């Protein structure tokens, strides 16, 4: 289902209601004041009208049928990958990726969301320093490749709107003094214009200097660079920048985006004298972008990527109706890792029990690994500093690395563990049987699949890639440990061997995914109750609406056998016989108690028989 390439102005022009116009004005007035807002409202209306003129009748009909409460269902599972992570022969990377997923391993049977990390031309940071937001990197493929993928997958695009590349035309024109690009970056005439006190207040995910020196037509300038000297923060105090971002967002929709991930959105608005993270202006910008989509593309969702402490992270849901529909669950990965290291699910269960879902239109993106590794900000205040240090030591013993972030007031702290998920859980050459490692790996993934939300799996986390520290030693980039190219021929060779690591993992994991996608109990809005059965297990009950097919999901997070006795009262479900869909066995409830015996790292998903 595609938009028209050119706008058709013979069809009726979009009529924007007074209520919608007032909301756009309100957001702009908050950011820029009422006088400036009045000047810019017409530009945002124009962008919406142009976007509307690209729509076919089929798209308009689809938008009329959107049900926000069922935007995501139990059938939604996302695969996260770089466009060129898979190395194939005789194809462009995007074409090769699509063919591999569809025709070689057939994951499109159980995975319906495809998140290709930034696929635009870039100058550094593995795609996150974009030189041109409106074109596909020709080394990867073309918009036609993306369009073909939209026929089989819901596509997630990256909105890397926090910064642009120093190699981009826009920044170069700013240096040239072009009036159209004036004030697109945050510029100081001297590094001393940012005082030591202001520098100490900053909270950012890097330890490099916040200001980078460049030479412009007017002489040397110092530019705000949150992430690296090559990544120039956009100046959202300039309404032109926000208008351009809104137009780019709508263009992504026309190119096939069903979800747009707002990368590092925490740092969108910078303000000297503040931490320049999680500022109220940032939330207001997200509300405006949400408003633009609600008016112009109600079938498209915003996803915020904010690797910050949990309470700050969930603030990006807004009131449940006005910011992101989905938020990265950054607490889950380190908490699951801690759970498997300690073989104690107590803290995981306690945290999961307290999770709040602001509305039936919002949910979590339940990831265990990303292209960066395992972020640590999400467990601040949940795990003690000693528990975090223990986790870091264990991961490093498995070949992982650690990245640090700058603190307000000076100093630094661990920000993320750079590792593959399999490598974090399993040491290489330690004598453990491969089957046990595969079971541990899949058991950990089962938690993200059962927990309320939409699961996301990074490509290396789908196939069980281990840690190879030599990759980092060669490149000097810690995150590269989880970005090693995957050679298709090697995967296909492993796929022919049922005893290979790949097949021991994939067979188990695809089975779980197949079960999940056909059980309404795993709908993101289905009821969730966490059970306290034993520190050895993470257990929950998911109950759909109507409550016809509840699921009891239990994962043994330990390397020990576990015998559970679960009372009918604890279950809250009146059933005498149960069927375990994973192990394919029947379990009877005797005298109002369900006896469940689990081997190390067993996963049991039971339904009333």
Render pLDDT for 542-584 as a digit per residue (tens, 0 to 9).
999 988 899 999 999 999 999 999 999 999 999 999 999 999 9
- Give residue 342's pLDDT band: very low, low, confident or very high (50, 70, 90): very high
Give the tokens for residue 211.
């200001």
Give yes or no: residues 390 and 321 share one domain.
yes
Per this entry, what is the length of the chain? 609
pLDDT of residue 328: 98
- Give residue 345's pLDDT band: very low, low, confident or very high (50, 70, 90): very high
pLDDT of 410 above 90 = no
pLDDT of residue 502: 96
Residue 213 lies in a domain: yes
pLDDT of residue 443: 99
Q: Are the beta carbons of 267 and 306 closer than 8 angstroms?
A: no
Residue 399 lies in a domain: yes
Q: pLDDT (tens digit, 9 = 90+) per residue, 92-126?
A: 999 999 999 988 777 889 999 999 999 999 999 99
Give yes or no: residues 346 and 433 share one domain.
yes
- Nearest-CA neighbor of 276 among 210, 230, 323, 327? 210
For the residues 305-311, what does the mean pLDDT come to? Answer: 94
- Give residue 90's pLDDT band: very low, low, confident or very high (50, 70, 90): confident
CATH number at residue 328: 3.20.20.80
Give yes or no: residues 419 and 543 share one domain.
no
pLDDT of residue 548: 86
Give yes or no: residues 323 and 302 share one domain.
yes
pLDDT of residue 429: 86
- Give residue 162's pLDDT band: very low, low, confident or very high (50, 70, 90): very high
The H-assigned helical ranges of 363-516 are 385-397, 421-425, 434-450, 459-463, 469-475, 488-495, 501-516
Mark which of 175, 199, 233 sits at the end of a domain: 233
Alpha-carbon span 32 to 40, nearest angstrom: 10
Give yes or no: residues 355 and 421 share one domain.
yes
Q: Which of 125, 158, 233, 263 is catalytic?
A: 263
E strands present in 52-119: 78-81, 86-87, 113-116
- Mean pLDDT (the chain, rounded): 96
Sheet hosting strand 551-556, strand order edge to edge: 527-531, 537-543, 551-556, 603-608, 577-580, 585-590, 593-598, 562-567
E strands present in 36-179: 78-81, 86-87, 113-116, 122-124, 129-130, 154-159, 163-165
Q: pLDDT (tens digit, 9 = 90+) per residue, 430-455?
A: 999 999 999 999 999 999 999 999 99
Give yes or no: residues 146 and 266 share one domain.
yes
Give the tokens for residue 228.
């690296």
Dmax (CA) of the chain: 84
Q: pLDDT (tens digit, 9 = 90+) per residue, 1-56?
A: 789 999 999 999 999 999 999 999 999 999 999 999 999 999 999 999 999 999 99
Q: Are the beta carbons of 139 and 133 closer than 8 angstroms?
A: no
- How many distinct structural domains can be found in the chain? 3
Mark which of 189, 210, 233 sits at the end of a domain: 233
Give yes or no: residues 198 and 295 share one domain.
no
Alpha-carbon span 281 to 269, nearest angstrom: 6
Bridge partners, residue 529, by sequence: 541
**Whole domain around residue 178: which residue ranges?**
163-233
CA distances from 326 to 4, 470, 547 (A): 28, 36, 25
CATH number at residue 540: 2.60.40.1180
Give yes or no: residues 480 and 563 share one domain.
no
Rg (CA), the chain: 25
Residue 54 lies in a domain: no
Mark which of 471, 493, 520 sits at the end of a domain: 520
Residue 80 lies in a domain: yes
Give yes or no: residues 119 and 144 share one domain.
yes
Q: pLDDT (tens digit, 9 = 90+) per residue, 466-513?
A: 999 999 999 999 999 999 999 999 999 999 999 999 999 999 999 999
Both ends of the chain: CA-CA distance in Å?
Answer: 41
Residue 584 lies in a domain: yes
Q: Are the beta carbons of 486 and 86 closer than 8 angstroms?
A: yes
Residue 26 lies in a domain: no
- For the beta carbon of residue 265, count every other beta carbon within 10 angstroms: 26
Give yes or no: residues 461 and 582 share one domain.
no
Residue 552 lies in a domain: yes
- Give residue 406's pLDDT band: very low, low, confident or very high (50, 70, 90): confident
Q: pLDDT (tens digit, 9 = 90+) per residue, 189-236?
A: 999 999 999 999 999 988 899 999 999 999 999 999 999 999 999 999
Q: Are the beta carbons of 337 and 350 closer than 8 angstroms?
A: no
Alpha-carbon span 597 to 609, nearest angstrom: 18
CATH number at residue 221: 3.90.400.10
Residue 243 lies in a domain: yes
pLDDT of residue 590: 83
Confirm whether 90 is a catalytic residue.
Answer: no
Give yes or no: residues 206 and 301 share one domain.
no
pLDDT of 409 above 80 = no
pLDDT of 412 above 90 = no
Residues 6+ apart with CB under 8 A from 546: none
Helix (H, G, I), strand (E, B) or coil at 382: coil
Alpha-carbon span 545 to 85, nearest angstrom: 40
- Nearest-CA neighbor of 556 among 456, 449, 447, 453? 447
Alpha-carbon span 442 to 604, nearest angstrom: 12
Give yes or no: residues 574 and 452 share one domain.
no
């Amino acid at each position: 289902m595609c938009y028209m390439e050119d706008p058709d102005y013979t069809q009726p022009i979009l009529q924007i209601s007074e209520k919608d116009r007032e909301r756009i004005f309100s957001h702009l007035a908050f950011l820029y004041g009422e006088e400036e807002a009045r000047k810019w409202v017409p530009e945002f209306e124009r962008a919406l009208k142009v976007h509307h003129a690209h729509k076919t009748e089929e798209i308009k009909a689809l938008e009329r049928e959107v049900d926000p409460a069922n935007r995501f269902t139990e059938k939604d599972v996302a695969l996260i990958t770089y466009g060129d992570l898979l190395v194939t022969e005789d194809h462009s990377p995007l074409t090769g990726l699509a063919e591999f997923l569809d025709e070689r391993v057939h994951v499109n049977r159980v995975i319906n969301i495809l998140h290709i990390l930034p696929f635009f031309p870039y100058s550094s940071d593995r795609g996150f320093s974009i030189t041109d937001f409106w074109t596909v990197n020709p080394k990867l493929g073309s918009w036609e490749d993306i369009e073909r993928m939209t026929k089989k997958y819901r596509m997630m695009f990256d909105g890397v709107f926090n910064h642009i590349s120093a190699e981009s035309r826009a920044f170069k024109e700013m240096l040239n003094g072009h009036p159209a690009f004036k004030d697109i970056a945050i510029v100081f005439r001297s590094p001393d214009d940012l005082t030591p006190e202001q520098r100490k207040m900053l909270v950012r995910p890097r330890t490099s200097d916040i200001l980078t020196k460049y030479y412009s037509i007017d002489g040397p300038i110092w530019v705000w660079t949150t992430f690296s000297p090559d990544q120039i923060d956009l100046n959202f105090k300039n309404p032109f920048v926000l208008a351009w971002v809104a137009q780019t967002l709508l263009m992504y929709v026309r190119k096939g985006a069903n979800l747009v991930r707002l990368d590092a959105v925490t740092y969108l608005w910078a303000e000297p004298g503040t931490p320049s993270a999680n500022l109220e202006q940032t939330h207001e910008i997200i509300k405006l972008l949400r408003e633009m989509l609600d008016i112009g593309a109600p079938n498209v969702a915003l996803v915020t990527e904010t690797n910050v402490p949990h309470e700050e992270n969930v603030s990006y849901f807004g009131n449940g109706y006005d910011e992101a529909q989905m938020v990265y669950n950054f607490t889950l990965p380190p908490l699951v890792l801690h759970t498997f290291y300690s073989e104690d699910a107590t803290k995981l269960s306690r945290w999961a029990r307290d999770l709040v879902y602001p509305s039936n239109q919002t949910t979590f993106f339940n990831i265990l690994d990303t292209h960066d590794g395992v972020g640590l900000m999400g467990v601040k205040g949940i795990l003690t500093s000693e528990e975090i240090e223990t986790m870091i030591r264990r991961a490093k013993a498995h070949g992982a690395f650690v990245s640090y972030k700058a603190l307000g007031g000076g100093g630094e702290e661990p920000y993320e563990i750079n590792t593959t998920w399999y490598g974090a859980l399993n040491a290489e050459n330690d004598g453990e049987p491969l089957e046990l490692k595969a079971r541990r790996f899949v058991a950990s993934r089962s938690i993200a699949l059962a927990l309320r939300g939409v699961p996301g799996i990074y490509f290396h986390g789908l196939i069980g890639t281990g840690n190879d520290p030599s990759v980092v030693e060669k490149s000097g980039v810690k995150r590269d440990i989880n970005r090693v190219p995957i050679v298709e021929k090697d995967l296909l060779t492993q796929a022919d061997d049922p005893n290979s690591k790949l097949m021991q993992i994939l067979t188990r994991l695809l089975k779980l995914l197949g079960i999940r996608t056909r059980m309404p109990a795993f709908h993101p809005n289905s009821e969730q109750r966490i059970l306290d059965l034993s520190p050895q297990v993470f257990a929950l009950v998911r109950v759909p609406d109507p409550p016809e097919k509840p699921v009891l999901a239990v994962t043994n997070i330990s390397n020990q056998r576990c015998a559970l006795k679960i009372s009918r009262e604890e279950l809250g479900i009146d059933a005498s016989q149960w069927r375990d869909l994973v192990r394919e066995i029947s379990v009877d409830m005797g005298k109002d108690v369900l006896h469940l015996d689990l081997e190390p790292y067993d996963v049991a998903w039971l339904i009333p028989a």
